């Protein structure tokens, strides 16, 4: 960021934050503001920000606490995450900004977590998830995209059937019903403002910062970003990648994030394979033990014993029920030349 832009960021964020600060914080703010002014006086040229912050708009259903949380989120994006100031200004000034009252309830009623806790039986999971339908679709999908599935599996050393299982479980192979209908940036704003959970707030901060980076790479204007739809937790595209995972592993067939399309089938095949092989997650199990989330070629999987590449699928979605569904779908597909995993 240019020097003038950095000063503008300091002053803008301090003004935003001052509405919620206590007296001690006010004193700190005054000192920082004074230092910023002194620094500005020594500059030969002040760079004018192209998109000055116009303030968070008034929107239906918002409470004073919502505005406080959004101001805090904006400030943390700038100071802690180094988010692009101009883009953040446009995003938080947009008249499309809304918080979604559905999201906090869904975070607490997560289907997978209920099944993991034993509140749902496997037969209930099987019926509710329509796994029999997914198995039939998986076989057709595998045959239709066999060339790409096996090429991606060979390139990354993973199993093509597991790629298929993940794409089936995530969105029913791109079915519109399972893509989500939540405004993408607003999901993270809502989670930050209304989840009531420190863990979820940190998740929302990290992912919104990643989303801003991703949107700038892809050339998506801030105002248009609100029109992009995701899951209630901000997962996007056919493979339901969160923004940090899009930045880390969604390179598609071309190997370039700039060219990869989260809604393109072939790009998703390669992206899922890349994620399984190269993600950097350490997966925490139910007993607090950590496991590597990377796929290990030739190691196979054992869902019952929770061994082998079981943990690579848990890295994609840290749920035993999720892994069980994915491997169940994968096991319904005839073995392929990309590998013969143990079951």
11 occurs within a structural domain: no
Average confidence (pLDDT) over 266-284: 96
Average confidence (pLDDT) over 184-188: 98
**Partner residues linked to 302 by β-bridges:** 307
* Residue 152 near residue 270 (C-beta atoms within 8 A): yes
Please choose, from the candidates 154, 146, 129, the residue with its C-alpha nearest in 3D space to the C-alpha of residue 333. 146
The pLDDT, as a whole number, for residue 103 is: 96
pLDDT digits (tens, 9 = 90+) for 130-162: 999 999 999 999 999 999 999 999 999 999 999
296 occurs within a structural domain: yes
Residue 175 pLDDT level (bands cut at 50, 70, 90): confident
Buried b (16+ CB within 10 A) or exposed e, 104-134: beebeeebbeebbeeebeeeebbeebebeeb
Number of domains in the chain: 1
The CA radius of gyration of the chain, in Å to the nearest whole number, is 23
92 occurs within a structural domain: no
Distance, in Å, from the CA atom of 229 to the CA atom of 79, rounded to the nearest integer, reads 27
157 occurs within a structural domain: yes
Distance, in Å, from the CA atom of 223 to the CA atom of 226, rounded to the nearest integer, reads 6
pLDDT digits (tens, 9 = 90+) for 315-339: 999 999 999 999 999 999 987 544 4
Buried b (16+ CB within 10 A) or exposed e, 298-331: eebbebeeeebbbbbbbbbbbbbbbbbbbbbbbb
188 occurs within a structural domain: no
The pLDDT, as a whole number, for residue 338 is: 41
Residue 12 pLDDT level (bands cut at 50, 70, 90): low
Average confidence (pLDDT) over 193-210: 97
The pLDDT, as a whole number, for residue 25 is: 54
93 occurs within a structural domain: no
Distance, in Å, from the CA atom of 263 to the CA atom of 237, rounded to the nearest integer, reads 5
Least trusted range by pLDDT, from 1-5, 189-193, 264-268: 1-5
Average confidence (pLDDT) over 272-292: 94
Please choose, from the candidates 273, 34, 5, the residue with its C-alpha nearest in 3D space to the C-alpha of residue 160. 273
The pLDDT, as a whole number, for residue 6 is: 53
Distances (CA, A) of 154 to 146, 150, 194, 285: 12, 6, 44, 29
The pLDDT, as a whole number, for residue 111 is: 83
The pLDDT, as a whole number, for residue 18 is: 46
pLDDT at 244 over 80: yes
Distance, in Å, from the CA atom of 147 to the CA atom of 8, rounded to the nearest integer, reads 52
Bigger pLDDT: 343 vs 217:
217
pLDDT digits (tens, 9 = 90+) for 66-121: 999 999 999 999 999 999 999 999 999 999 999 999 999 999 877 888 899 999 99
The pLDDT, as a whole number, for residue 337 is: 43
13 occurs within a structural domain: no
pLDDT at 39 over 50: no
pLDDT at 48 over 70: no
The pLDDT, as a whole number, for residue 41 is: 45
- H-helix or E-strand containing 30? helix 23-41
Domain at 145, CATH number? 1.10.530
- The token pair at 267 is 């790009």
Averaged pLDDT of the chain: 86
By residue count, the chain amounts to 343
70 occurs within a structural domain: no
* pTM of structure: 0.83
Range of the domain at 171: 129-179+239-331
pLDDT at 292 over 50: yes
Contacts of 172 (CB under 8 A, 6+ apart): 134, 137, 178
Residue 40 pLDDT level (bands cut at 50, 70, 90): very low
* Residue 158 near residue 276 (C-beta atoms within 8 A): yes
Contacts of 312 (CB under 8 A, 6+ apart): 158, 276, 279, 293, 294, 295, 296
Strands of the chain, DSSP E: 182-183, 229-230, 282-284, 290-292, 301-302, 307-308
The pLDDT, as a whole number, for residue 180 is: 86
* Residue 272 near residue 167 (C-beta atoms within 8 A): yes
229-230 and 282-284 strand pairing: unpaired
**Partner residues linked to 241 by β-bridges:** 236
pLDDT at 307 over 60: yes
Percent of the chain with pLDDT over 90: 73
């Amino acid at each position: 960021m240019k020097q003038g832009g950095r000063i503008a960021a300091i002053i803008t964020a301090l003004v935003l934050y001052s509405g919620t600060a206590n007296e001690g914080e006010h004193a700190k703010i005054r000192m920082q503001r004074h230092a910023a002014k002194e620094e500005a006086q020594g500059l030969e040229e002040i760079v004018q920000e192209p998109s000055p912050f116009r303030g968070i708009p008034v929107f239906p259903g918002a409470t004073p606490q919502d505005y406080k949380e959004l101001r805090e989120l904006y400030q943390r994006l700038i100071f802690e995450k180094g988010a692009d100031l101009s883009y953040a200004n446009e995003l938080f000034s947009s008249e499309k900004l809304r918080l979604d009252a559905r999201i906090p309830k869904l975070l607490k009623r997560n289907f997978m977590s209920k099944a993991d806790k034993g509140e749902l039986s496997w037969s209930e999971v099987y019926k509710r998830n329509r796994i029999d339908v997914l198995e039939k679709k998986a076989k057709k999908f595998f045959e239709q995209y066999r060339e790409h599935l096996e090429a991606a599996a060979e390139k990354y050393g993973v199993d093509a059937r597991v790629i298929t299982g993940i794409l089936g479980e995530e969105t029913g192979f791109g079915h519109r019903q399972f893509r989500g209908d939540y405004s993408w940036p607003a999901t993270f704003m809502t989670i930050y403002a209304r989840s009531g959970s420190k863990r979820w707030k940190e998740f929302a901060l990290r992912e919104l910062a990643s989303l801003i980076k991703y949107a700038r790479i892809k050339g998506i204007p801030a105002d248009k970003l609100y029109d992009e739809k995701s899951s209630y937790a901000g997962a996007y595209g056919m493979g339901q990648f969160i923004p940090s995972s899009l930045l880390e592993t969604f390179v598609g067939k071309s190997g370039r994030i700039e060219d990869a399309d989260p809604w393109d089938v072939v790009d998703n095949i390669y992206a899922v394979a890349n994620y399984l092989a190269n993600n950097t997650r350490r997966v925490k199990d139910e007993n607090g033990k950590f496991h590597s989330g990377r796929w290990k070629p030739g190691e196979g999987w054992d869902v019952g014993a929770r061994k082998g590449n079981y943990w690579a699928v848990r890295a994609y979605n840290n749920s035993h029920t999720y892994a069980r569904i994915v491997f169940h779908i994968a096991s319904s597909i005839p073995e392929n030349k990309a590998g013969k995993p143990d079951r």
